[in-house]
Structure 1
Amino acid sequence: MYGWRARIGFICPSMTAETFIHEFHLVAPPGVALVVTNLAIQHLVREDIGKSLGLLQSVAAELDRARVDVIVLGGSPPVTYGGFGFEKEIVRQIGEVTSIPATTSQTGAVEALRALGVQTLVIGSPFGGDQNLLLKTYLEDAGFKVAGVRGLAVPLIDIGRMSASTSYRLAKEAFLVAPDAEGVYLPCAQMPTFKNIAPLERDLGVPVVTSFQAMLWHVFTMLRIHEPIQGYGRLLQSLGR
């Protein structure tokens, strides 16, 4: 069994899963495995997201059967769908079908930004206007100041096919509009980001938090895996402290 150290149960909100699986294997410490199930979001519209959340308990129960150590609902849209605080309802619903600890990747992002001392941030997002507004509102309700949002309105099915350079340009463009920001947030685990985190932090001089990077930091902290991960930004490097 590869997950002798920890088995992370990850609920991918979309019907397909690609980029984050590759990025997990770039950074995962020995003995840590990723066990993936999926919801059924095809389009980032409210009706589709709501219907997909109806699958939450069934996929969480399947992860329970797989004997994972933690369950994470990935993605911003399933959480911002209900506004700030809805992450607690998600954890409550998962808790009805399993006693395994549960969280969300959006919770991880909020905790990561706080841990890095970021209060004012910019967002570089692959999403369109409605989802970006929901995310901005969510983060503001969580206590952050959002100084700017740069969105690309990429269809969900195409996000994983974005070039690796796109997230670098996206983050830089968002930051240059609000250069007093204390950090950059890049949502969506399907958007390729990992190889850009360290270069962006060097070039912009501020922390960069991405959805999947923050989820890993959050989960590793929960599971007491204190192994610094080098080369992918200061957040993952801080795991050794």
Structure 2
Amino acid sequence: MVALAARLGILVIHNDPVPETEIWRMAPDGVSVHTARFECPRPADTEYVGSPAGALANAPDVVRGLDQLGRLGAQSIALCFGSSSFFGGPGFEAEFVAAAGAHAHGVPVYTAATAITAALRASGMRRPLLVMPPWFTEPTFRATEKYLGEVGVEQSRQVQFALGPEWDGIPRYNAFDEGAHWTVDPAEVHRQAVRAFHDPDFPRPDGILVPGSGFPAHGAVVPLERELGVPVITSNQSVLWYGLRHAAPGRAPEAGAGAHGSLFTRPLPPGTSSGTGSGISSP
């Protein structure tokens, strides 16, 4: 039996199976992943447009999750809900972490957006192609673009993953709740990303970013990197990489790099600390 090298905690919305599924799949031997769930703050049949950081951190089910993950011995806790940071801006991280930390028994807390920012910085990615989940809507597109600009991305271009025609009658913001995440094929993520990457009407991106925690893109990362020759970053990949680098800095997760992307060969960029969204600069 392999001794545990790291115990990572994740906070996930009530009906999202993707972060724990993908993070478990990517985690090296000796790393355990522990999940706590909270009710998504998006009211039913509406578009999500953000949550106050303090209100989210102090919601009863979030508090319960932080308390339980802290008491079970997690070495870091990630909020796998990037949209809250995109709408709240870089200041959301500091406020959320400060409020959440009071419930986590001293365990460092960070957000998926903090991890994404660090991953972009470590990879030197400044002009990414964003492959957006099919349930994101215009407010989230604008919020994501604004957030990335504020943390140092020079230019980004967005393309939304297209579901099949059977989803045409369902409002985009309800597609996730209706089970669209179960139908996403990584091979189709790869195909659509390659087509958008080579669009002759736009400058060549220097990488690909998939910002949605609930969007199952793990299986497309390595094929995209091999075919396009640029780094590919996903939200869940970033959460694991960032958590490992903080929780187990002496452990080298590079053993899985061939299977899970070049990000796992990279150190945290200088000046990165848990819970803070430092800007992007050359690695």
Same fold by TM-score greater than 0.5: yes
Matched, 1:234 2:236: no
In terms of Rg, which structure is larger? 2
CA distance in 1, matches of 2:218, 2:49: 31
1:176 counterpart residue number = 198
Residue in 2 aligned with 1:140?
149
Please show how residues 81-96 of structure 1 align to structure 2 within 5 Å: 81-96=87-102
| Corresponding letter in the other structure for 2:261 | G
Distance 2:24 2:77 in 1: 18
Task: Select the residue among 66, 81, 100 that pairs with 1:60.
Answer: 66
What does residue 38 of structure 2 align with? 39
1:144–1:47 distance in 2 versus 1, CA, 3 Å: closer
Q: How many angstroms does 1:2 deviate by?
A: 8.1
Counterpart of 1:222 in structure 2 is 246
SS in 1 for 2:131: strand
Alignment of 1:11-160 (within 5 A): 11-12=11-12, 14-41=13-40, 45-46=47-48, 49=51, 54-55=59-60, 56-97=62-103, 98-126=105-133, 127-152=136-161, 153=172, 155-157=175-177, 158-160=179-181
Q: Distance in 2 between matches of 1:141 and 1:72?
A: 21
Residue type matched to 1:236 in 2? F
- Partner of 1:8 in structure 2? 8
The AA in structure 1 aligned to 2:262 is: R
Structure 1: segments with no counterpart, 5+ residues: none
Distance in 2 separating the partners of 1:147 and 1:238: 22
Q: TM-score, normalised by structure 2?
A: 0.76
Query: 1:160 touches 1:192 (CA, 8 Å); kept in 2?
Result: yes
C-alpha displacement of 1:49: 4.8
How far the C-alpha of 1:193 sits from its partner, in A, is 1.3
CA RMSD of aligned residues (A): 2.4
Amino acid at match of 1:33: S
Paired position in structure 2 for 1:200? 224
Aligned length: 238
1:63 Cα deviation from its structure 2 partner: 1.4
Q: Distance in 2 between matches of 1:144 and 1:175?
A: 17
Q: Tell me, which stretches of 5 or more residues in structure 2 are unaligned?
A: 162-171, 268-283
One-letter code aligned to 2:151: A
- 1:145 is paired with a residue whose SS is coil
On the 8 A contact 2:50/2:87 being kept in 1, the answer is: no
Amino acid at match of 1:32: V
After TM superposition, give the deviation of residue 174 of structure 1 in Å.
Answer: 3.5
User: Residues 79 and 48 from structure 1, CA distance in 2 versus in 1: closer, same or farther, beyond 3 angstroms?
Assistant: closer
CA contact (8 A) 1:81 1:134 kept: yes
Structure 2: distance between partners of 1:25 and 1:58: 22
Task: Classify 1:86/1:165 alpha carbon distance in 2 versus 1 (closer, same or farther; 3 Å).
Answer: same
In the other structure, the counterpart of 2:213 is 189
Q: Relative contact order: is structure 1 or structure 2 higher (C-alpha 8 Å, sep ≥ 6)?
A: 2
TM superposition score normalised by structure 1: 0.88
User: Deviation at 1:47?
Assistant: 6.6
1:187 and 1:159 mapped to 2: Cα distance?
Answer: 17
Question: Does the CA-based 8 Å contact 2:86-2:147 persist in structure 1?
Answer: yes
Q: Secondary structure at the match of 2:88?
A: coil
* 1:142-171 CA-partner distances (Å, limit 9, x unpaired): 010233111244622234212222322342
Match for residue 212 of structure 1? 236
Higher strand fraction (1 or 2): 1
Counterpart of 2:279? none
How far is the alpha carbon of 1:120 from its aligned partner? 1.2
The share of aligned pairs that are identical, in percent, is: 24
